[in-house]
Homo-oligomer: A and B are copies of this chain.
Amino acid sequence: MCRERLDAWMAPQFLDAWPPSFAEPVRYPLFGGGKRIRPALTLGAYQSIYGYDTDPSPALPAAAAVEMIHTYSLVHDDLPALDNDDERRGRPTVHIAFGEPCAILVGDTLLTQAFSVLAQAPLSAEVRIELVAALSDAAGYRGMIGGQVADVGLGGPVETLDTLTRLHTLKTGALIEASTLMGALVAQAQPDQRRALRAYGASVGLAFQLADDLLDADEDAGEAGPPSFVKLLGPAATRSEAHRYADQAIAAASELPHPALLQALARYTVDRTV
């Protein structure tokens, strides 16, 4: 449901007056089979306040902006100078399919247009600027890029559970936490609801990353690769940590008027197989 609504909303944003030669490489990663977990969290956070019979459309621009930021980060991460990945989601990465100059510009475009989408959302000026503040903070140096900087080794060694947890809290957790916070902002949630949603988002972010490490460990068995929770803790303890964080998220959500969808999403982040 989330995917169809979101895709139907996003598609026209990237068709108007763009030459097909550039619209195609921008659409390629954005409509390329992502799980849409972040926008589902934004819409889920909105509905956790107002219930499931409420139309979540007011939260769609925020959900789209979060997904655009996530997508830009993947496109730039995959570049030869960074992770040098040839494949993502079973298809060639953007720089393999369309060339490296195009991939750099596609990432820059998605990052820029995410803020344009928020600026033009049919919401009050107060809510729109709160969304811009939340997203730029989560995507910036105190969030995602800070994690990237640590990941490429510019922030010192990543060897302990503390430094690894901090890296992932920044690289993945900050944007996931912002996804729920932005749903709360659109819903104009009360301060205690907002706190509950932030706590939920922080725990779900770590649960998600621990589960990702387990899935990657299955794929990369025997490879050297970067530090991971599985290497530091072993698979059994990583799995139990993931479930502990998911349980924390579920408990945090129980303070909200309509927690069921968010609780199901928390469970999904650790039970998923992709």
Contact = CB atoms under 8 A, between A and B. Distances in A.
Interface residues of A, number: 47
Contact of A113 (B100, B132, B140): B140
A141 B104 contact: no
A75 to B, nearest CB: 11
A204 B124 CA distance: 34
A158 interface: no
Contacts of A133: 116, 119-120
A274 B133 CA distance: 37
A125 interface: yes
Contact of A125 (B120, B125, B141): B125
Q: In terms of DSSP, what is the predominant structure of the interface of chain A?
A: helix
B154 A22 contact: yes
Interface stretch (A43-51, A56-64, A76-84): A76-84
A3 to B, nearest CB: 24
A137 interface: yes
B152 A102 contact: yes
Interface in A97-150: 99-102, 104-105, 107-109, 111-113, 115-116, 118-120, 124-126, 128-129, 132-133, 135-137, 139-142, 145, 148-149
B18 A141 contact: yes
Given A104-B81, A156-B19, A132 B149 contact: no
A105 B152 contact: yes
Interface in A1-59: 17-19, 21-22
B145 A105 contact: yes
B100 A81 contact: yes
A257 interface: no
Nearest to A115: B136
Contacts of A125: 124-126, 128-129
A181 to B, nearest CB: 14
Contact of A140 (B17, B100, B116, B139): B116
Given A19-B156, A112-B136, A112-B139, 7 more contacts: A19-B149, A76-B104, A82-B101, A112-B140, A116-B140, A119-B129, A119-B132
19 contacts: A76-B104, A76-B108, A79-B104, A81-B100, A102-B154, A104-B104, A105-B148, A109-B141, A111-B111, A112-B139, A112-B140, A112-B145, A115-B132, A115-B136, A116-B136, A119-B132, A119-B136, A119-B137, A128-B132
The 5 closest A-B CB pairs, nearest first, are: A119-B133, A81-B100, A116-B136, A112-B140, A115-B136
